[in-house]
Chain A
Amino acid sequence: MVDVAASPSDAIVLRRDEAGPAGAKPRHALSRRNIFLYGTLIVVALYYLLPLYVMIVTSLKGMPEIRLGNIFSPPVEITFEPWVKAWATACTGLNCDGLSRGFWNSVRITVPSVLLSIAIASVNGYALANWRFKGADTFFIILIVGAFIPYQVMIYPIVIILREIGIYGTLTGLVIVHSIFGMPILTLLFRNYFTSMPEELFRAARVDGAGFWGIYLRIMLPMSLPIFVVAIILQVTGIWNDFLFGVVYTRPDTYPMTVQLNNIVNSVQGVKEYNVNMAATILTGLVPLIVYFISGKLFVRGIAAGAVKG
């Protein structure tokens, strides 16, 4: 050992970030390492923020200014006209009532889908964690492996099933589809959470005579609110952002916001109004963005829970 200076107290202070060859040297705010570190992070952060900035800036400009100017320059004259137009009068095909229609459709799709899918998956995860029956694990594994099957393989059979039931093209049909495809990840989430809860709790409730639903409603549900929040975040963003199911399982008058947005922006007729397009794009991204910025760490936890298991 060459480094004799390392006293026990130094060893505690030693941190990962002082890994340089000089050992436990006091940190300088403007060391070369820090300039490199923060410099890189700031440049990358600017790159990530740039599209959001350009979106906002473009949506606040008038069309003449866009034609003449630079996409990065801030608006000379701020106008909210594009926002109003995008929300209320932008056209898709023959409908000229703007994105508001898509917005309310998306609300009508997202709210019941989130509630239904979470209700099903939480009870399901609870059954898998605490009330195992023979074969339950087999179905669960099928469910998890099934989550990786490309949706394209299953969309047509589901079209047939929905048509047979008579709900193809309705919002109800789409809600069911979202509940089906949300099931693997949510069931996994809830199963893992309920499994990690102390077994004694469950046993005590059983001794006291509580049944399947009693334990779920009175013990499991109140104790697992954080995981419900995570699930809600996961589902709200996922369902709001969906495009494929919306385009397959709904009709033009029930299109969700993403589908309508794409139709507005990529429509071939008419003069392209880039400011309206960008306003519409922000409006569509707003709901998941708000969810994201409010939820903060829980969002990260949600995707981490969904991704890294066990």
Chain B
Amino acid sequence: MSNSERPNQLFRNLNAKIASIPMVLTALVVFVGGTAWTVLYSFTNSKLLPRLNFVGLDQYYRLWATPRWLISIENLLIYGVISLVFSLVIGFVLAALLDQKIRFEDTFRTIFLYPFALSFIVTGLVWQWLLNPDFGIQRVVRDLGWTSFSFDPLYNSSIVIYGISIAALWQGTGLIMCLMLAGLRGIDEDIWKAARVDGIPMWKTYLFIVIPMMRPVFITTLVIIAAGIVKVYDLVVAQTSGGPGIASEVPAKYVYDYMFFAQNLGQGFAASTMMLLSVMIVIVPWAYLEFGGRRRG
């Protein structure tokens, strides 16, 4: 073995370095390089092929003047707020219910979590079927005698994004519940005993003692949900394909369609850079806290 001689710094620990080549390549070429490349080309007027013909911020001006992009952003905001609020609340409540030393805890947890094992495509198609106005829930309620009942979120452009959120919540709350449950299990039993001795009602203990103690879990969960929100794509494709019209478009779909169908790469790059920017606003402070803090420790 040549590395037993250790000719210089470079060959120290050679095997570990060889083993890390995929990581280094991924980190530098794909993550850093790919991102930089996309950001750079978002300032060009690339159409069918990427070209370095700089046009400044033109793509961004055009982006923010495109109704489809504005609808995408609005949908993402609505979807994001709904996902964030409801999955946190439902996830936490379910976790708190499961944490009452109940029987069949494993069964309930298995049921709440199984949708998470399914893909967004499967989720979207099931809910497309359930929300089908001719056969689904609307029809069933109408057949019961309430003939004016109307529940067709996927065919009504003003509420279509809520219909998508229903499916997303069904799929994703199980995960949040599991994270919250892990957090709740991490709370010292003594806290509960102390609260009980002091006669604090249970809901108050949760609200003012347990939840503040679970801050790290909440932050991590928040980051996970936020990262998932921006990526939402398959669900929309499966459920509505962006319709009716362009009412349920989302940014990720905008990027894909402009890159691979409209052959307007510059627009796609600009839109994806905006997505990157929105994620960075969430991630950078978190990464700073997480890794900056760890290095001190």
Residues of A within 8 A of B (CB): 11, 14-17, 19, 21, 23, 37-38, 40-41, 44-45, 47-52, 54-55, 58, 66-67, 70-72, 120, 123-124, 126-128, 131-133, 136, 139-146, 148-158, 160-161, 179-180, 183, 187, 211-213, 237, 240-244, 247-248, 258, 261-262, 265-266, 274, 277-278, 281, 284-285, 288-289, 291-293, 296-297, 299-300, 303-304, 307-309
Contacts and interface: CB of A to CB of B under 8 A. Distances in A.
A75 B122 CA distance: 22
Contacts of A308: 179, 182-183, 217, 220
Nearest to A297: B106
Contact of B101 (A17, A41, A258): A17
A14 to B, nearest CB: 7
A153 B199 contact: no
B136 interface: yes
A133 B17 CA distance: 7
Contacts of A160: 50
B12 A133 contact: yes
Nearest to B114: A292
Instruction: Sort A-B residue pairs by CB-CB distance and give the 4 closest, nearest first.
Output: A146-B31, A241-B119, A131-B16, A212-B15
B73 interface: no
B19 A143 contact: no
Interface of B: 1, 12-13, 15-17, 19-20, 22-24, 26-35, 37-39, 50, 94, 97-102, 106, 108-122, 125-130, 135-137, 139-140, 143, 170, 174-175, 178-179, 182-183, 189, 192-193, 196, 199, 201-202, 205, 217, 220-221, 223-224, 227, 230-231, 233-234, 237-238, 241, 251-252, 255-256, 259-260, 265, 268-269, 271-273, 275-276, 279, 283, 287, 291
B23 A299 contact: no
Given A19-B192, A126-B19, A148-B283, A284 B119 contact: yes
Nearest to A36: B97
Given A136-B20, A154-B31, A213-B15, 10 more contacts: A19-B205, A54-B130, A133-B13, A136-B16, A141-B291, A143-B23, A152-B255, A152-B271, A153-B272, A156-B269
Interface of B is mostly: helix
Given A37-B102, A139-B27, A153-B272, A183 B178 contact: no
A123 B174 CA distance: 32
Contacts of B101: 15-17
Nearest to A291: B117
Contact of B108 (A19, A41, A240, A243): A41
Contacts of B224: 307
Nearest to A259: B121
Given A183-B22, A308-B179, A150 B121 contact: no
Given A261-B121, A266-B241, A292-B117, A16 B99 contact: yes
A81 to B, nearest CB: 18
Contacts of B109: 300
A298 to B, nearest CB: 12
Nearest to B99: A16
Identify which of A54, A139, A261 gathers the most chain B CB atoms within 10 Å of its CB. A139
Given A16-B192, A183-B23, A296-B110, A155 B259 contact: yes
A262 B117 contact: no
A153 B38 contact: yes
A187 B23 contact: yes
Contacts of B121: 241, 243, 258, 261-262, 284
B279 A285 contact: no
Nearest to B220: A308
A181 B51 CA distance: 27
A136 B170 CA distance: 40
B46 to A, nearest CB: 10
Contacts of A48: 111-112, 114-115, 170, 174
B193 A14 contact: yes
A180 B30 contact: yes
A153 B35 contact: yes
Contact of A51 (B127, B223, B269): B127
A167 B53 CA distance: 28
Nearest to A295: B117
B135 A71 contact: yes
A297 B110 CA distance: 9
Identify which of A14, A243, A261 gathers the most chain B CB atoms within 10 Å of its CB. A243
Given A54-B129, A262-B121, A284-B121, A309 B252 contact: no
Contacts of A155: 256, 259
